[in-house]
Structure 1
Amino acid sequence: MRDAPSLRYGPNPASRQPPQRSATPSSASVSAPRRRSGWGRTLGFLLLAGLAGAGWIERDALMSFAGYGDKPEAPAAQAKDKPAEGDPDTVTLDETGRTRAGVREGKAVIRRIVLPVRAPGTVAFDERRVTHLKPRTQGRVLSLAVQPGDRVHAGQVLATLDAAGILDARNGLASANAALGEAVASEQAAALQMKRGQDQLSFGGVAKAEVERRQVDLAKAQAAVKSAQANTDMYRAQYERLAPAEGAAPGTSAIVTPIAGVVTSVGITIGDVIDTARNAITVADPSRMLVLANLYGPDIARVKTGDQATIAAPIPGSERFAGTVGAINAALDPATNTAPARIEIANPGDTLRANMFVSVTIAADIGRSGVTIPAAAVQETEQGPIAFVRTGPDTFVRRALTLGIRRADWVEVEGGVAEGETVATQGSFALKAILLRSLLGSTD
């Protein structure tokens, strides 16, 4: 029927007013909501719309104020959540209200202030675990047993050379041995002549001057023996250094690695004639690697030797690597204006590779302790950060905060909260919303 609307809204169709809400108090207040004038309601809605756009209140609160909320009215026995009368910074919220708002709590505790410093890093070989192998003598490469990427063990022959220097060393040793034998024989003859002269001198068979001359000859012979012995030792050491490995062909020299690791580069080919100044093969031990974390700006002063570090590599399924800052370079990189921090880490399974980019997080010990609260307890306002401190069984007080170091899990509080106090963490936004509604003259 066409007159059904008039039956619903009253006898005057031109003033179709929606039915008044029930006088039963809602779950957000114990008192009936006050009637707002048209202009007052419009201004209040515009203010709430601005606050919602700024992130101060949620959309549900705005729709509820405008009268579009679709939540059913709560019974009168429902718990109350409203600012305490006479104190705009205190919110009263009983256990039922806290459960409905999802309020959780945490403690303000004193802890060591450790700031996570995040920096990009690059993996590199530890130069103390890298060897650049050169030939021991000039020669022509006869064989090459490795290529880049090969695993080698300590003492393994990597290449052999046809080295003429070995023959020179062997011939020099033989000549030195002959000269040593001649010097020893001369010394023995001089010693014999000296003994005979001393015997003859006792009965006048030889002049004293002759005995003194023989003493000089013996001293020269002894000096010649020492010189020949030194020359022999020199040639022997040279030959032993250049001598071929056991079972190798005479006149050949081997390039042997002193460490176990991986061949990273090979600078020779078969047939090359190389000398002792040329890098032939490079071997690196990848069991422990270096991570160079590029520190920038104030982080250079925050990070200290001994700080713990965690390295994340861009490898699917790879675990994080733990290490310790060993040193921080005193000079800045002119290209990046950063100071590299050296972090030595174990590398099981050769997971990390040289020149790989990684993410580094260093736990920088600031050198002090301070009061901290969970990060979820901090709410941002136009006047600055705040937190809600529980002061009674059902009361929370808003406190302005002065913050220090901020982390994802906790923040340092330099003022506003004392050690041992309880703060609202999860659900603290609901407490802020209650205070904001009170500023608009409403608690529904």
Structure 2
Amino acid sequence: MTNHQNTSPSSSSSETRIEASDAKTGVVSSLLKGLPTLLVLAAMGGGWMLMHYINSGGSSVKEDVEVTEAGAPSDTLVLPEGKINAAKFESVAAQAQNVQHVHTVPGRLRYDQTKHVDVKAPMDGILAELVVTPGDHVESGDLIAVLRSPEIGQARAEILKRQKERDIAQQVLQRELTLAKNLKEVSAMLDQGQSVDVIEAAFSNRALGAYRQEILSAYSKMRLADELIANIRPLVASGSVSGRTVREREGERQLAETSFRTARDQASFAIEQSKMKAEADVSEADRQLNLAWQSLETLLGYREDKNTVNLSNQEALSRLEVRAPFGGSVEAQGFANNERVMRGDSLVVLANTDSLSVEASIRESDWSAVALQPGTEISVLVPALDDRVFTAKVRYFGREVQADTNSVPLVARIENSEGLLRPGMFVRVTVPIGEAREALSIKPESVLQHENEQFVFVDMNNGAFKRVGVSTGQASDDWVEVTEGLSPGQLVVTHGAFLLKSELLLQGEGD
């Protein structure tokens, strides 16, 4: 017992190591036995952690996006590149422009009164032929109708009478001119002392009228007296003839010379008087003929060609041709062939619509428009032609204020070369009011409205567009004045602005 109790320390230590070794071996053995179970648990735990990480990561991204969108301003849109390319946005910088206040008033298209007439019968008669029908186009001077009128026949007969009178007066004048010429030549031969036989031979076939006898007879007597004196002078010296006889012959010769000179003077005076009277008669005949033509043309309403007019028979005398005063279209006719018409009856209505009149009323609120000068351009919108806009020029403003509307009429001229406009069409007339001035302006299509608020979209570049509220002033077809909200140079979206408005409204619904 004692020996057992007195066992050495080395022996006790060895036993302890053996027990520990046995225990370690047991643990390892237990671990080896549970290894498959541990591996399965580890795989399950790893999968759970991976799924948790993915879910937590996705939530984090979503939260980041929500935070980003929540942090962005509600009036700013950021569009992806694809949408921007598809929309093809266009922007125009806000800039200073001349802005003219305008006002639009209702109006009507009317005929140009200078080119819309009733072609009336100038006198009573029978409508022998109506050449045109409604819808026909005629040129200025074209034949419209033919009437038979006794009054026209009388007027043409008066012309024939006056023509005959003028022809007679012209013949008389021509004769007086011939007599004056021949008498002047006779006087020259008389001054040369030519004999009566020589003068008679030279003018045997030429007209001298009564002056032949008066002048040549006096000249013959004077020549005879000269011969008698010449014959008795030698006899005076021989005493065969008394001096008294010579003095008598000389007295007779002086009387003959006086008669000759008197006849020449009277002939010269008479021929000048006759020539002047003949010229006056021709002038009077011309005046009467012109008056007859004027009377006829007044009845006809147009000028006839005096060289080609036919006055040969009664039918031609009474023929009255009615011609177009200007080029245009026949709008209506009042009579048929062979009907009796009275003076002033409308045969046809002729109109030229190459240009029309625009008539509108300017009221007190637009009174400054009355100061517009003739020729000022105004805009005319025609609803019947898909709101097409034409340009017209102011002709005049009425002077009298209409009591029932308290307005004055505006009349403008509008060209209708295309033939699209028709009298009676309703139009909207835009007239400038006041003076034009320079103001910050943008394009009209840039201005949008929502819930009674006006706004535009400013291009911030890089796909960002900002909604900016604006206040507008005067507007024209091309520009709108901006009184508040923008600065010069800011790019304002024009094309695509409505798309941005839709995107902004959708974003608001999503929020």
TM-score computed with the length of structure 1 as normaliser: 0.61
| 2:252 equivalent to 1:196 | no
| 2:353 equivalent to 1:286 | yes
Q: Cα deviations across residues 246-275 of structure 1 (Å, max 9, x unaligned)?
A: 999522212121433222233445432422
* Equivalent in the alignment of 2:415: 345
For the residue of structure 2 that corresponds to 1:286, the secondary structure is: coil
Matches within 5 A, 1:174-323: 174-191=160-177, 192=179, 196=183, 199=187, 200=215, 205-207=260-262, 210-211=266-267, 213-214=269-270, 215-236=272-293, 241=303, 249-250=315-316, 251-268=318-335, 270-275=338-343, 277-299=344-366, 301-302=368-369, 304=372, 305-314=375-384, 320=388, 322-323=390-391
Higher relative contact order (CA 8 A, sep 6+): 2
**Residues 156 and 181 of structure 1: CA distance in aligned 2, closer, same or farther (over 3 Å):** closer
Structure ranking higher in helix proportion: 2
For the 8 Å contact 2:381–2:389, the answer to whether it is kept is yes
Q: Cα deviations across residues 123-163 of structure 1 (Å, max 9, x unaligned)?
A: 21222333432334442323334444444444433222111
| 2:142 pairs with one of 142, 150, 156 | 156
For the 8 Å contact 2:75–2:467, the answer to whether it is kept is no
CA-CA distance at 1:225 after TM superposition: 1.9
CA-CA distance at 1:406 after TM superposition: 4.2
| 2:424 pairs with one of 355, 380, 396 | 355
Structure ranking higher in strand proportion: 1
| 2:397 pairs with one of 322, 329, 332 | 329
Moved more, 112-121 or 412-421: 112-121
* Equivalent in the alignment of 1:419: 488
Matches within 5 A, 1:337-416: 337-348=407-418, 350-361=419-430, 367-373=436-442, 376=446, 403-406=472-475, 411-416=480-485
CA distance in 1, matches of 2:369, 2:388: 23
RMSD: 5.1
Aligned length: 361
* Equivalent in the alignment of 2:201: none
| 1:75 pairs with one of 44, 58, 63 | 63
CA distance in 2, matches of 1:92, 1:132: 67
Q: Which amino acid aligns with 1:196?
A: L
Larger Rg: 2
For the residue of structure 2 that corresponds to 1:414, the secondary structure is: strand
Gaps of 5+ in 1: 1-23, 31-72, 85-89, 437-443
CA-CA distance at 1:330 after TM superposition: 3.5
For the 8 Å contact 2:136–2:330, the answer to whether it is kept is yes
Gaps of 5+ in 2: 1-56, 188-214, 220-256, 298-302
Q: Which amino acid aligns with 1:144?
A: L
CA distance in 2, matches of 1:98, 1:116: 41
**Residues 91 and 385 of structure 1: CA distance in aligned 2, closer, same or farther (over 3 Å):** same
CA-CA distance at 1:419 after TM superposition: 0.9
**Residues 244 and 237 of structure 1: CA distance in aligned 2, closer, same or farther (over 3 Å):** farther
* Equivalent in the alignment of 1:87: none
TM-score computed with the length of structure 2 as normaliser: 0.54
